[in-house]
Chains A and B, each alone.
Chain A
Amino acid sequence: MSNETGASEVPEPGSPADLEKPGTPGTPPADKTPSPWRGVMREIASGSALVSVLSVLLAVVVGSLMILLTDETVREAASYIGARPSDFFYAVRDSILDAYTALFQGAIYNTNVEGFERRIRPLTETLKYASPLILAGLGVGLAFRAGLFNIGGRGQMLLAGAAAGWVAVSVDLPMALHLPLAALVGAAAGALWAGIAGVLKARTGAHEVIVTIMLNYVGYYLIFYALSRQGLLQAPGSGNPKSEAMPESAILPKILGDGFNLHAGFLLALVAVAFVWWLLNKSAMGFRFRAVGENPEAAQASGIHVGRTYTTVMLIAGALVGLAGVNQVLGTATSGVTVDLDAGIGFDAITVALLGRSRPLGILAAGLLFGGLKAGGFSMAAAEGIPVEIVLVIQSLIVLFIAAPPLVRAIFRLPKEATA
Chain B
Amino acid sequence: MTALSEKTPMVPAPDAPVVTTRGLVKTPIVFGVVTVLISLLVAFKAREGDTTFRLAQDTDFFELPEITVPSTASLSTVVVLLALCTAASALLVSRGRRSPLWLVAVFAFLALTGFLCWAAAGEAVPVIGLLGGSIALAVPLVFGALGGVLGERAGVVNIAIDGQLLFGAFAAAMFGTIVGSPWGGLVAAMVAGALVAVVLAFFAINYFVDQVIVGVVLNVLVIGLTSFLFGQVMAKNSEGLNDPPHFDRIPIPVLGEIPVIGPVLFRQTILVYIMYAAVLLVAWALYRTKWGLRVRAVGEHPKAADTVGIKVNRTRYTTLIIAGLIAGIGGATYTLVSVPQFGEEMTDGAGYIALAAVIFGRWDPVRATLAALLFGFATNLSGVLSVIGSPVPSQFMLMLPYVVTIIAVAGLVGSSRAPAADGVPYRKG
Contacts and interface: CB of A to CB of B under 8 A. Distances in A.
Secondary structure at the A interface, as helix, strand, loop or mixed, is: helix
Contacts of A395: 220, 224
A3 B424 contact: yes
A218 B399 contact: yes
A149 interface: yes
B221 A396 contact: yes
Contacts of B233: 70
B329 interface: no
A204 B414 contact: yes
Contacts of B216: 151, 350-351, 354
6 contacts: A20-B425, A211-B410, A218-B402, A389-B223, A390-B224, A404-B209
Contacts of B359: 207, 209-210
B214 interface: yes
Contacts of A213: 349, 352-353, 355-356
B232 A387 contact: yes
B304 interface: no
A83 B213 CA distance: 47
Given A151-B352, A214-B406, A399-B213, A6 B208 contact: yes
B9 interface: yes
Contacts of A70: 228-229, 232-233
A386 B229 CA distance: 10
Interface string A195-235: 00000100111110111011111100110110010000000
Given A225-B393, A297-B9, A393-B225, A204 B425 contact: no
A215 B415 CA distance: 18
Given A210-B356, A224-B395, A396-B217, A389 B224 contact: yes
B211 to A, nearest CB: 10
B266 interface: no
Contacts of A396: 217-218, 220-221, 224
B10 A207 contact: no
Interface string B10-44: 11000000000000001000000000000000000
A414 B368 CA distance: 45
Interface string A385-404: 01101111111110110011
A19 interface: yes
Given A205-B11, A221-B395, A296-B10, A389 B227 contact: yes
Contacts of A351: 216-217, 220
A39 interface: no
Contacts, number: 164
Interface residues of A, number: 56
A406 interface: yes
Contact of B406 (A206, A391, A403): A206
Interface in A1-32: 3, 5-6, 19-22
B212 interface: yes
A347 interface: yes
Contacts of A347: 220
A206 B217 contact: no
B409 interface: yes
Contacts of B9: 297
B221 to A, nearest CB: 4
Interface of B: 9-11, 26, 203, 207-210, 212-214, 216-218, 220-221, 223-225, 227-233, 344, 349, 352-353, 355-356, 359-360, 393, 395-396, 398-399, 402-403, 405-406, 409-411, 413-416, 424-427
Contact of A297 (B10, B228, B399, B426): B10
Sorted from nearest, which 10 A-B pairs have the closest CB atoms?
Answer: A205-B415, A392-B224, A387-B231, A389-B227, A393-B224, A396-B221, A225-B395, A404-B207, A206-B410, A221-B395
A66 interface: yes
Contacts of A210: 355-356, 359-360, 405-406, 409
Nearest to B406: A214
B207 A406 contact: yes
Contacts of A222: 395, 399
A392 B218 contact: no
B208 A393 contact: no
Nearest to A6: B208
B224 A225 contact: no
B224 to A, nearest CB: 3
A300 interface: yes
Contacts of B425: 3, 20
Given A211-B410, A225-B395, A400-B203, A22 B228 contact: no
Nearest to B303: A2
B395 A20 contact: no
A321 B410 CA distance: 24
Given A350-B216, A387-B227, 18 more contacts: A204-B26, A205-B10, A206-B410, A206-B413, A207-B359, A211-B409, A217-B402, A218-B406, A221-B396, A221-B398, A297-B10, A354-B216, A386-B232, A389-B225, A389-B228, A392-B228, A396-B224, A400-B203
B409 A228 contact: no
A383 interface: no
B217 A400 contact: yes
A407 interface: yes
A407 B203 CA distance: 9
Contacts of B356: 209-210, 213-214
Contacts of B393: 225
B410 A204 contact: yes
Given A217-B402, A400-B217, A404-B207, A393 B228 contact: yes
B59 to A, nearest CB: 35
A191 to B, nearest CB: 18
B406 A215 contact: yes
Nearest to A225: B395
Contact of B409 (A21, A151, A207, A400): A207
A92 to B, nearest CB: 16
B132 to A, nearest CB: 24
Nearest to B349: A213
Interface in A244-295: none
A149 B214 CA distance: 14
Contacts of B11: 205
